[in-house]
Structure 1
Amino acid sequence: MDNRPIGVMDSGIGGLSVVRQLKAQLPGESIMFIGDQGHFPYGTKTDETIQMFVQRIANYFVVHDVKLMVIACNTATAAALPLLRQTLPIPVIGVIEPGAQAALATGATQIGVIATDSTIHSGAYEQQLTYLNPTVQVTSLATQPLVRVVETGQTGTPAALAAVQTALAPLVNQPITALILGCTHFPFLTPEIQQVLGPQVTLVDPAIATVQAVQRHLEATQQLSNASQGHLMAYSTGELSDLQRGLAKWLPGVTPQSCAELKLD
């Protein structure tokens, strides 16, 4: 048993979708979440810049003795996961491979992916999907503006629906039957996305499969916590009020043990 926390990071508050699944699937685990809002968004930055930001957060996690790191950001996973696995003394789990596996598990042969500019340009999902199943057809679409819709708290509003309609217009007539929400912000737009694409499209939230991967690793290494209820520590490198608003909206009933600004520069 290992009661040390799990470190979870994102470019902003979208990674709370992974924290939400961790709390639901592994309630005994403690979590240290860092939203790098001071450098938001990652999706328009170079790989080298993203790697620098993620490495700083990873170093903070190592110093504060987390037992495992989750990159709860598709853009950061695509840019930095191989580097961190080479340089860190702790295991690192990203969201892209679990998300691809979850999409294929639906049985879909025509899969759509929506993500940030950087994630789409990297081709990370298409590469992973076709590696796992060479016959799958992948339609990728950059929907960068939707990240800010979530980050600014507009989910559930007519403005959010209008933004989703505009962003997803190229997919409406595509023959996809599963759509990967390839940015951890996007699960918070699930109602709007489902409304635009219709019930025939299965929405795949990589956060669910990512937490299942975390659980498998902790079980295999005998590092599951034996606590009945883990605690949450939440930090923002930017505007703390945005993180507080996200916690209140998307993790109702969860009171962080600490919630503070964090300076890593």
Structure 2
Amino acid sequence: MSHVASDRIGVFDSGVGGLSVLAHIHRLLPHESLIYVADTAFMPYGCKPPEQVLERCLTVADFFDKQQVKALVVACNTATAVAIETLRKHSSTPIIGMEPAIKPAALASRTGVIGVLATTGTLGSGKFNGLKSRFEQHTRILVQPCPGLVEQIEQGKLSGEQTTALLEHYLQPLLASGIDALVLGCTHYPFLMPLIRQIVGENIDVIDTGEPIARQLQRQLEARNLLSPERAGMVEFWTSGDCALVEPVMMQLWQAPLKLHHLPV
């Protein structure tokens, strides 16, 4: 990436899921201007071959490079697992990625049994399996791939029969195995929190990594003296998908009106 000349932070995901992370960043750092990219035309990354995910990440990073962002947040677990090493090699800009919260879940667990909901791509990655093996000596880690969930969220279907049935199908085996902590290993899944709570009850820790990522970004900016002065930060939204289809879902999840720009594929 080129020399920093802008005061903005880039955030991207394969779709609208990264808005869960963007919301934490916007709350913690309200003075920062943010650019969010939903790479909807290639969504979901979680079931794509790693080579294709890497190629998309490099393309989106190139867009942010042209915007001269001062930091980049890869708000997608699959993209982080597949591409973050390569992105960092190409860049002098701080790049913050996602990591499923296995460590906090393992520390919080009283039974020593935790569940992880994630995409097939995340669960199959070497990065995830390296993380899992670090904690497996003392904690039983049950992983559950969730095909179809991301697509439901991308359509704004956060409740209803189909989404509920899918979630119950994925959660019941974990509950039956005695988990007491559940890791949301995909940035889309926090949007299902009310439904997850309804199914798992109140006694299970449900752990989302959005807030720790926002704090990590804050630390990186502070360390480089890149925090913005006190003024209202702007948030700009882009998608490689069909704006007319994506915009209403984004507004539903962001809970505010927004103007969506089209990112050429």
Normalising by structure 2, report the TM-score. 0.90
How far off is 1:101 after superposition?
Answer: 4.2
Note the 1:139-154 alignment, pairs <5 A: 139-154=142-157
Percentage of identical aligned residues: 32
Residue 94 of structure 2 contacts residue 220 of structure 2 at CA under 8 Å; is this kept in 1? Answer: no
| Structure 2, unpaired ranges of 5+ | none
1:261 and 2:257 matched? no
**Number of positions where the alignment pairs a residue of Structure 1 with one of Structure 2:** 260
Question: How far apart, CA to CA, are the structure 2 residues paired with 1:242 and 1:28?
Answer: 30
Provide the secondary structure at the position in 2 that maps to 1:172.
helix
Note the 1:159-178 alignment, pairs <5 A: 159-178=162-181
How far off is 1:169 after superposition?
Answer: 2.7
Residue 240 of structure 1 contacts residue 261 of structure 1 at CA under 8 Å; is this kept in 2? Answer: yes
| Structure 1, unpaired ranges of 5+ | none
Residue 74 of structure 1 contacts residue 184 of structure 1 at CA under 8 Å; is this kept in 2? Answer: yes
Provide the secondary structure at the position in 1 that maps to 2:192.
helix
Question: How far apart, CA to CA, are the structure 1 residues paired with 2:109 and 2:89?
Answer: 33
Residue 72 of structure 2 contacts residue 96 of structure 2 at CA under 8 Å; is this kept in 1? Answer: yes
Provide the secondary structure at the position in 2 that maps to 1:226.
coil
Provide the residue aligned with 1:70 in structure 2.
Answer: 73
Provide the residue aligned with 2:200 in structure 1.
Answer: 197
Instruction: State the Cα deviation string for residues 59-80 of structure 1 (Å, max 9, x = none).
Output: 1111111011111111111111
How far off is 1:242 after superposition?
Answer: 3.8
Instruction: State the Cα deviation string for residues 191-218 of structure 1 (Å, max 9, x = none).
Output: 1112222222111111111111111111
How far off is 1:24 after superposition?
Answer: 1.3
Instruction: State the Cα deviation string for residues 161-218 of structure 1 (Å, max 9, x = none).
Output: 2221123232120221111111111000011112222222111111111111111111
Provide the residue aligned with 1:93 in structure 2.
Answer: 96
| Mean Cα deviation higher: 181-190 or 160-169 | 160-169
Tell me which of 16, 20, 25 is aligned to 2:23. 20
Instruction: State the Cα deviation string for residues 19-76 of structure 1 (Å, max 9, x = none).
Output: 1111111111111111000111111111111000000001111111101111111111
Residue 164 of structure 1 contacts residue 193 of structure 1 at CA under 8 Å; is this kept in 2? Answer: yes
Provide the residue aligned with 2:53 in structure 1.
Answer: 50
Question: How far apart, CA to CA, are the structure 1 residues paired with 2:157 and 2:201?
Answer: 21
Question: How far apart, CA to CA, are the structure 1 residues paired with 2:120 and 2:135?
Answer: 23
How far off is 1:129 after superposition?
Answer: 4.5
Change (3 A) 1:223 1:132: farther
Change (3 A) 1:194 1:19: same
Instruction: State the Cα deviation string for residues 61-105 of structure 1 (Å, max 9, x = none).
Output: 1111101111111111111111111122211111116x3444345
Change (3 A) 1:6 1:133: farther
Provide the secondary structure at the position in 1 that maps to 2:115.
strand
Change (3 A) 1:175 1:126: farther
Question: How far apart, CA to CA, are the structure 2 residues paired with 1:249 and 1:100?
Answer: 29
Runs of 4+ in 1 over 6 A off after TM superposition: none
Change (3 A) 1:116 1:133: closer
